[in-house]
Amino acid sequence: MTREDFIFTVGYDGNTAVVDKKAKSKYSQKTTMELLEAGFFKPALCSAIYSENQDELNAVLERYNSFTEKKIDNIEQLKLVIGIQKMPKEIIEIVQI
């Protein structure tokens, strides 16, 4: 699964990832920080997870907390709130919608 497919995945059907092709084509070249500055928290978190960059993960958490009254304590809690834990390794097919 490519970075671009992962960050714009909107759901899964078994071992198939469903990707938002419009968002992917428009925003796929943006860095984690650019996605974050644009307010795309889920794609920014996915990008940071994909890159395994702790500084990026911390930046997503910090930026998220700046926009919400209920602060998140750590990255693991943020992953739960946003609904993405890891890049799934079992994906064998990508469907773009």
In sequence order, what are the residues at sequence separation of 6 or more whose Cβ sits closer than 8 angstroms to the Cβ of residue 51? 3, 32
pLDDT in tens, 6-36: 999 999 999 999 999 999 999 999 999 999 9
pLDDT in tens, 36-57: 999 999 999 999 999 999 999 9
Beta-bridged to residue 93, according to DSSP, are 16
User: What is the rounded CA–CA span in Å between residue 48 and residue 44?
Assistant: 6
All structural domains of the chain with their residue ranges: 3-96
The continuous run of DSSP H or E covering 53 comes out as none
pLDDT in tens, 61-79: 999 999 999 999 999 999 9
**Cβ-defined contacts of 28-37 (< 8 Å, 24+):** 28/4, 32/56, 32/59, 32/60, 33/59, 35/7, 36/60, 36/63
